[in-house]
Structures are given as structure tokens and as C-alpha cells.
């Protein structure tokens, strides 16, 4: 029997929505403020996965300029009916403190790889929406509802409303069908139907170390829903010895052989606390009890690092190349930008063939227009390298290698110009919003030619290097830096993404000076 090692989607891949269509399996995950919106992975065996598409590629589908950190795309839901794929998603504009501005939309496609439609606006009453296709042809929309009032609990239950495909809108009454268990913080509802029951799978406990997945059921779609007497179905809460923590926020899939699995959110902390890779996706086999409740196949409710795979032939994919030479007409699918699309006005593979040209825009603290292209860190042990051709004229010009969590936490090895040092290298580290220059004095480099930049992450430490010629030995720059501040768990306020690694440039004068990156290498030992 095939064995699957968790997580199946390492690195920042949160809030999985799993779907089977024939012999193909798909998982959609949250992308928050990173563009393009939503990542869809494909598998034939639930073990081997590859990223195949991101449905939200246009500003008309997703306009995130100005969205706050960890806003944007929360908890997409992928479904399929009568030849059409449906994707429900939330664009979160504001979510701190009392208020949450959460706008829910629907896009559709006949092919999982697109093109995807323009969005249909649905509602803004809460987040984590999903769409259920009943066997009578009706479609039902569910989302948690947010109550900002102090007298009530902020997570006010799960609401149900019918969706009219003909009218392209929600219709009929809104009914609160489930208030959750005493774990509370009930969110992420998904509906299923089996053996005469409607099953409601929800996340509870918040998305950190008390996270859980709970099931409830009803004979009618609008309730009342009875909570599983042996809840929660899945959790890591109170089990610090487990390698997989934060287990919860799941969705279900049945294989073509009748086997059941739950894909769920998890995290792997460093030093007992810091999930620098973000919240990841894992999978667990399930089975139905004699009294028609779903149970984990391991007999408990804890996540496992190694699980039994389905009765399906293995279907591996070619590994991703470690080097991107920027010789294609479009950015590779593993690259992402912050809040805005990779518009040719600032991000071009055509202006200088064989190079990625980035034109400098706003600072690394901006929530509007950053010139930053990055990919997920997906292993605790990785190294990355680039070569940048850049001629800064002022200290306001910067370009280089960035390790980035959000505007509050990042590390930036960059080329700039100093009045005394001339063209030089400096490291900026921003921790919980506090800016610091790591080098007491910038390091002068030659005025002409490119600079090679390199980083190595070994668990909680980042070491940076540079060289001026290809044949030179790498020279360490600065001391090794602690990267645990680039995690969900290190900030004063909760947040939801993960560490990204990539290239960035700024022109704080506003003239959009260009930096050319000749290649990028990302390689890892094991996750």
C-alpha cells in the first residue's frame, strides 16, 4: 500500500478545498495578499501534486491594491457540477479588531486551467464561503457570519442561502443553521450529502494551536444540525509532541474506489512555536462508523505525519527545475507578486530577453505598488541565488534578494548607492515593523557589472552571501539572522501567510529605475 508523507503541499498552502472530478483530484488553497489569487494543485493519487493554475489572474477579478497584510483571498471553495467548475472566494479588505470587510464572489470555468469568468458578487456578511450542489439541482451557499457587537460572540454561526444560477445571485431567506460546538470560533463550512444526511464540516478553535475540525449533520439542509458526539473529528490541540500542529480547516473527498479522505490545514513549528513555512496542507484517511459518523482511520483524532494512501496507482510528476533563466514569455507559475498583477509596465520578460526586468516602485512597507516577485519557501533547508544587473544612482535606488513575510517582517540583501561608499551592498531587516540596517557600514562593490547574491536558510537561521564574478568564492555578508520573526506566530496580532523568497527593487524617487535579474535558483534538501 502506498504511503503518503504529510504535508502534501509544503509551505504556505492554507485552507484546502479538495475536489475529485473523474480520476483527477484538485486542491484549491488561499493566497491572501499574493497575486495571482488562489492556487490549484492537481493529483491522480493524492500523494503526488503539481500546481496547475491560479484562476484569479486579472484585476477585474481581484483588486487588492491597498489590502492590509493577511487580507485578500481567504479560504476558497472549489466545486464541480454538470461540466462546470465553480470557485467561491473572499476578498478581505479589513479584518482587524471589531469589523471585517469580507466580500464574497463566484467565478466559473469549463476547464480547470481556465479561462475563468468575471466574478459574480454574492455577499459580504462573513467569510469562508462554499457552494453545495444538491442532487435535486439546487445550489446552496454557506458562510460563517461575522457579528461585530461586543454583546455577542464574534463568530455568530453558519448561514445558508440559495444561489440562483439563472439570476446569478443569492435568493430567498438567509437562515443560521449551526452555531458550532463549545470549541467556538466556528468557520469554514462545507456541506456534503450521504445516506440521507446532510453533513456540515466546520473549522473551530481559531487557526492556531487550538484549531480543530468538527462535523454536524441533519436530515434537512436547513437544519437543525446535530454535532458529532465524539467531536472534534481532527485536532492537534493539547498535543505538543505531534509534528503536525494547528490541524483543522478541512474538506472531504471520496475516491473512485469509495475511500474517504480529509485534506486539512496544518503547521510545523520550529523551536516549538514558529511556523516559518506558514500553514500547509496535509491529508488523512477516514472511514464511516456504523452510526454514520466520519472518523479518522487511525482510530483517534490526531493528524499523522505518514498516512496510508488510496488504492490507486502512483502517479508522480516531473520535478520542478531548480533554476529559472527567465527565457519564457510569461512568469513561471511558482512566482507571485504582492497585491497587483505582474503588469508589463513594471515586470517584463520581453524588454531584455533572458532577463527579468523589474522597475522600481514603492517601499517594502507599501500595501499598494511593490516591485517584488517571489516564491514560497517550502523547506526548512533551502538555498537560493540570483544575479542582478543594476546601476543605482542614489540611496533611494535598491534592488536585490528578499526574504519576505509581509510589510512588517522581511530581510533584504540589496544593491544601492551611498554618498561615501558608492555602489554598495546593505542588508535591511524589518522585525515587527521596526527597521534596522544590519551592516554598520555598507560594503562597496565595483561600479560596473552584475552582482551575485545568495541566501541559505537552515531551519531558523538565514545566512547571506555575495560575489562579484562567477569564478569568485562566495563571501558571507553579515552574521546569520534569526528568521522566526517571519512566521504567523511571532507577531503581536494574528496573521496568516508564510515566508516568500525572491527579487525586489525600489525607486523611492518615483522614476521607476530598472533592475535586471538574469536567473534565479531555488533548491532544497527535504521538507
**How far is CA 475 from its chain centroid?**
33
CB 487 within 8 A of CB 405: yes
CATH architecture of 3-308: 5 Propeller (2.115)
CB neighbour burial string for 199-233, b if at least 16 within 10 angstroms, e if fewer: bbbbbbbbbbbbbbbbbbbbeebebebebbeebbb
The model's pTM: 0.97
Is 187 a catalytic site residue? yes
Query: What pLDDT does 527 receive?
Result: 47
Query: What pLDDT does 406 receive?
Result: 98
CB 124 within 8 A of CB 109: no
Query: What pLDDT does 203 receive?
Result: 98
Nearest C-alpha neighbor of 16 from the set 184, 304, 278, 252: 252
Query: What pLDDT does 1 receive?
Result: 75
310, 313, 318, 320 alpha-carbon torsion, rounded to 10°: 0
Residues of the chain predicted below pLDDT 70: 152-153, 526-527
CB neighbour burial string for 158-185, b if at least 16 within 10 angstroms, e if fewer: bbbbbbebeeeebeeeeeebbebbebeb
- Which of 33, 187, 408, 429 does the annotation list as catalytic? 187
Domain locations along the chain: 3-308, 323-524
Q: Where are the alpha helices (DSSP H) in 341-488?
A: none
Q: Kindly report, residue by residue over 71-94, the tens digit of the pLDDT.
A: 999 999 999 999 999 999 999 999
CATH number for the domain whose boundaries are 323-524: 2.60.120.200
- pLDDT > 90 fraction of the chain, expressed in percent and rounded: 97
262: left (phi over 0), alpha (psi -120 to 50) or beta: beta
Nearest C-alpha neighbor of 454 from the set 424, 425, 475: 475
Residue 22 in grid coordinates? 473523474
Nearest C-alpha neighbor of 243 from the set 294, 285, 277, 214: 277
Separation CA 431–CA 404 (nearest Å): 11
- First-to-last C-alpha distance (Å) of the chain: 23
Is 24 a catalytic site residue? no
Separation CA 403–CA 419 (nearest Å): 26
Query: What pLDDT does 506 receive?
Result: 98
Pairing of strands 381-389, 371-376: unpaired
177: left (phi over 0), alpha (psi -120 to 50) or beta: alpha
Amino acid at each position: 500500500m502506498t504511503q503518503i508523507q504529510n504535508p502534501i503541499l509544503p509551505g504556505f498552502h492554507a485552507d484546502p478545498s479538495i475536489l475529485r472530478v473523474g480520476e483527477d483530484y484538485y486542491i484549491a488553497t488561499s493566497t491572501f495578499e499574493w497575486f495571482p489569487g488562489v492556487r490549484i494543485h492537481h493529483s491522480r493519487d493524492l500523494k503526488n501534486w503539481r500546481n496547475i493554475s491560479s484562476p484569479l489572474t486579472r484585476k477585474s477579478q481581484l483588486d487588492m491594491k491597498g489590502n492590509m497584510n493577511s487580507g485578500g483571498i481567504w479560504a476558497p471553495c472549489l466545486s464541480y457540477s454538470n461540466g462546470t467548475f465553480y470557485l467561491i472566494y473572499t476578498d478581505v479588505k479589513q479584518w482587524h479588531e471589531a469589523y471585517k470587510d469580507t466580500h464574497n464572489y463566484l467565478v466559473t470555468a469549463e476547464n480547470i486551467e481556465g479561462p475563468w469568468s468575471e466574478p459574480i458578487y454574492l455577499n459580504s456578511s462573513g467569510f469562508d464561503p462554499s457552494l453545495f450542489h444538491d442532487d435535486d439541482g439546487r445550489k446552496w451557499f454557506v458562510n460563517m457570519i461575522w457579528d461585530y457587537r461586543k454583546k455577542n460572540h464574534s463568530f455568530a454561526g453558519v448561514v445558508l442561502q440559495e444561489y440562483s444560477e439563472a439570476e446569478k445571485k443569492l435568493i430567498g431567506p438567509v437562515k443560521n443553521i449551526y452555531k458550532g460546538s463549545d470549541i467556538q470560533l466556528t468557520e469554514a463550512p462545507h456541506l456534503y450529502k450521504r445516506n440521507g444526511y446532510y453533513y456540515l464540516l466546520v473549522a473551530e478553535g481559531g487557526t492556531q494551536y487550538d484549531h480543530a475540525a468538527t462535523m454536524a449533520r441533519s436530515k434537512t439542509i436547513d437544519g437543525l444540525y446535530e454535532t458529532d458526539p465524539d467531536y472534534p473529528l481532527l485536532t492537534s490541540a493539547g498535543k505538543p509532541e505531534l509534528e503536525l500542529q494547528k490541524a483543522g480547516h478541512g474538506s472531504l473527498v471520496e475516491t473512485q474506489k469509495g475511500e474517504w479522505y480529509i485534506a486539512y490545514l496544518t503547521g510545523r513549528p520550529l523551536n516549538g512555536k514558529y511556523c516559518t513555512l506558514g500553514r500547509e496542507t496535509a491529508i488523512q484517511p477516514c472511514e464511516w462508523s456504523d452510526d454514520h459518523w466520519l472518523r479518522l482511520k487511525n482510530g483517534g483524532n490526531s493528524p499523522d505525519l505518514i498516512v496510508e494512501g488510496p488504492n490507486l496507482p502512483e502517479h508522480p510528476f516531473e520535478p520542478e527545475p531548480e533554476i529559472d533563466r527567465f527565457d519564457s514569455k510569461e512568469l513561471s507559475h511558482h512566482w507571485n507578486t504582492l497585491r497587483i498583477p505582474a503588469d508589463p509596465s513594471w515586470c517584463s520578460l520581453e524588454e531584455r530577453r533572458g532577463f527579468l526586468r523589474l522597475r522600481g516602485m514603492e517601499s517594502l512597507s507599501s500595501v499598494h505598488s511593490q516591485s517584488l516577485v517571489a516564491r514560497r519557501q517550502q523547506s526548512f533547508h533551502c538555498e537560493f541565488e540570483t544575479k542582478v544587473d543594476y546601476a543605482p544612482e542614489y540611496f533611494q535606488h535598491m534592488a536585490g534578494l528578499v526574504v519576505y513575510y509581509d510589510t512588517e517582517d522581511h530581510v533584504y540583501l540589496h544593491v544601492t548607492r551611498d554618498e561615501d561608499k558608492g555602489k554598495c551592498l546593505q542588508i535591511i531587516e524589518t522585525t515587527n515593523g521596526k527597521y534596522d540596517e544590519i551592516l554598520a557600514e555598507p560594503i562597496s562593490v565595483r561600479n560596473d557589472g552584475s552582482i551575485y547574491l545568495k541566501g541559505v536558510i537552515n531551519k531558523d537561521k538565514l545566512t547571506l552571501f555575495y560575489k562579484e564574478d562567477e569564478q569568485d568564492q562566495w563571501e558571507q555578508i553579515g552574521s546569520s539572522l534569526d528568521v522566526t520573526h517571519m512566521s504567523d506566530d511571532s507577531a503581536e496580532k494574528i496573521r496568516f501567510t508564510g515566508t516568500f523568497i525572491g527579487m525586489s527593487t525600489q525607486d523611492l524617487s518615483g522614476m521607476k529605475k530598472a533592475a535586471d535579474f538574469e536567473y534565479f535558483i531555488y533548491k532544497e534538501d527535504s521538507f
